[in-house]
Chain A
Amino acid sequence: MIEATSQPAATRAAKPAIERGRLTWGGLALTAHAVLMYLFLYVPITILVIFSFTRDEFGVRWTGFTFEWYTRLFANERLMGAAANTLYVAFASTLVSTILGTLLALAMERYRFRGRNATDALLYLPIVIPEIVMAVALLAFSAFVFDLIRLVTGESLRRNLTTVIIAHIAFSISFVVVVVRTSLKNFDRRLEEAAADLGADSWRTFWRITFPLILPGIIGGALLAFTLSLDDFIISLFLSGPGTSLLPVEVYNKVRRAVTPEINAISTLMLIFSISLVVLSQAVQRRR
């Protein structure tokens, strides 16, 4: 009997504790933890940005404000060339991977066919394989193909920006497919049926109904592919040839040596560029 009455008492005690939510010690600890985590994520980046304006030639302490490192950066032809190469590779690989990825997403969401599961597996593989494995595989493959070409035609090719673009497309396609498939899944198929009922042929239905509705998804996928290409340096490191430098590879080669305020400055610019891209992609997705 005693036990039976103690049960509701415990319940009464437990319930308001949950309802009060954030006022409890648990809620307070949760908030404190979150504040610490946001500091953990943002303090290093903030310090990086601040120290891109320091006069200190080692770039690790504050000795006064200067824009010098930025002006030096823009005068550095090698880095500017690398930045231009990186943008070119990102635009080219985004264009191709967005088109191929969107077509694949349409096939996967709208058709049932033999080998669909195998295709699905092949599409997910580039996402779950460590990037370094893909990088060495593509390096070995390009060497193999170049050897073959030399044997057959006598022409010796070298790795250049095109090999990097081909590789970036290969790993971006899957990400585009995932994003576009999500927007195809959230799509009301009755709109297409209505268009067909009203006499539109399938081509017209696609361009007038389907395409505008999945466009935010396509743009989202394209922005993701663009960022992936821009930030990638593992595959770029393995696949860019001599004389075709890319910005992340240049930065990697520099930071391996030491901290310099110039790297702080270029990192800050890359940071600002990435943040603009996230803002853009969020704005596009909000329209969905």
Chain B
Amino acid sequence: MALNPAQDELQRRERVRLAGLLAPGLLWLILFFALPLVVILIYSFMTNGPRGNVVFQPTLANYITLFTKSIYVNAYLRSIWASLLTTLICLLLGYPLALFIVRQPARWRTPLLFLILIPFWTNFLVRIYAWQIILANNGLINSSLDALGLPTITLLNTEGATLLGLVYGELPFMVLPLYAAIDRFDFTLLEAAADLGASRWRAFLRVMLPMTMPGVAAGSVLVFIPTLGQFVVSELLGGAKVDYLGNLIQRLFLRSNPPDWPLGSAMAMVMMLVLLVLILFYFRATTEDDR
């Protein structure tokens, strides 16, 4: 590739420019994102010292503990189940909502979407906390029941409250990608399906759902990921009665005395693995529907 000197000079300058654009950001991400992940990967194969210090003695014990001790196995199963349930409920609630917004006249769509955006940008902690006021034993629902002379019920610190909080917290993340996908959908296709004799339900299942699948997939992933690692909702609304993955990881790193960073690191690693496998499966399933 013998180029003339002028072209060569031009290429060299372009390369310098590209390096200038890439280097600062990439360096930051490698140093403060990729490298830390490598550190916990290494820690997950190390031994925990008596004072909670990491001893550089390779072992598989952490992973064996995760897969044999019921407290950890149960936490994985519970978190995966709660995340699947949350994703499904958000999908069932979010799809008709997104469809409703798309079908409104243009001047209404912007304010309606804006109302979905506000919770999306609002502090998650604050939004979850709001439910404590409603569900607490002396809270809004129970004091209303009491005023009506009805018996009060325990709502806060239950599994149901955790699920409610998760759905409440994540719903906007489901609606926004669904809206984008349904907005692109050509509704005359439904008429075409009806002309060909398909029932409305069948037209939805065979035409609309497959064509809006990218939105379903994006929304599901956006809901599933944070739910799998959450620890706030189960602590604030579930009363930390049962352990989810996030609660255990937080405890192993910050609260236990002594802490157990190697075991906590292994938990985080297995969680990422679970996530990766589930997302791969999910994308494969949803893109097959697309064809």
Contact = CB atoms under 8 A, between A and B. Distances in A.
A84 interface: no
| Interface size of A as a range | 35 or more
B221 A282 contact: no
Given A48-B126, A60-B136, A136-B268, A33 B97 contact: yes
A194 interface: no
A44 B130 contact: yes
Interface stretch (A6-14, A64-72, A73-81, A207-215): A6-14
B18 interface: yes
B172 A41 contact: yes
Contacts of A170: 28-29, 32-33
A119 B26 contact: yes
Contact of B133 (A34, A59, A141, A233): A59
Contact of A60 (B116, B140, B230): B140
Contacts of A141: 32, 35-36, 39-40
A248 B34 CA distance: 26
Contacts of B126: 48, 251, 267, 270-271
Nearest to A274: B122
A58 interface: yes
A158 interface: no
B132 interface: yes
A271 B114 CA distance: 15
A140 B26 contact: no
Contact of A103 (B24, B35, B96, B268): B24
A141 B268 CA distance: 14
A14 B139 contact: no
Interface in B248-272: 249-250, 253-254, 261, 264-265, 268, 271-272
B285 interface: no
Interface residues of B, number: 85
A51 B199 CA distance: 49
Nearest to A27: B103
A167 B130 CA distance: 28
B253 A37 contact: no
Contacts of B249: 132, 136
Contacts of A130: 225-226, 228-229, 246, 271-272, 275
A55 B34 CA distance: 50
Given A137-B39, A169-B28, A18 B194 contact: yes
12 contacts: A18-B191, A34-B101, A61-B138, A103-B22, A113-B18, A129-B225, A130-B272, A136-B265, A166-B32, A173-B28, A177-B25, A237-B254
Given A44-B134, A107-B21, A137-B36, 11 more contacts: A30-B100, A41-B172, A100-B25, A107-B22, A132-B249, A137-B37, A248-B123, A252-B125, A263-B129, A271-B123, A275-B122
Interface of B: 14, 18, 20-22, 24-26, 28-30, 32-37, 39-40, 43, 93, 96-97, 99-101, 103, 114-127, 129-134, 136, 138-140, 143, 168, 171-172, 190-191, 194-195, 197, 199-200, 221, 225-226, 228-232, 235-236, 246, 249-250, 253-254, 261, 264-265, 268, 271-272, 275, 279
Interface of A: 7, 10-11, 14-15, 17-18, 21-22, 26-27, 30-31, 33-34, 37-38, 40-42, 44-45, 47-48, 51, 58-61, 99-101, 103-104, 106-107, 111, 113, 119, 122-123, 125-126, 128-134, 136-141, 144, 166-167, 169-171, 173-174, 177, 227, 230-231, 233-234, 237-238, 248, 251-252, 255-256, 259, 263-264, 267, 270-271, 274-275, 277-278, 281-282
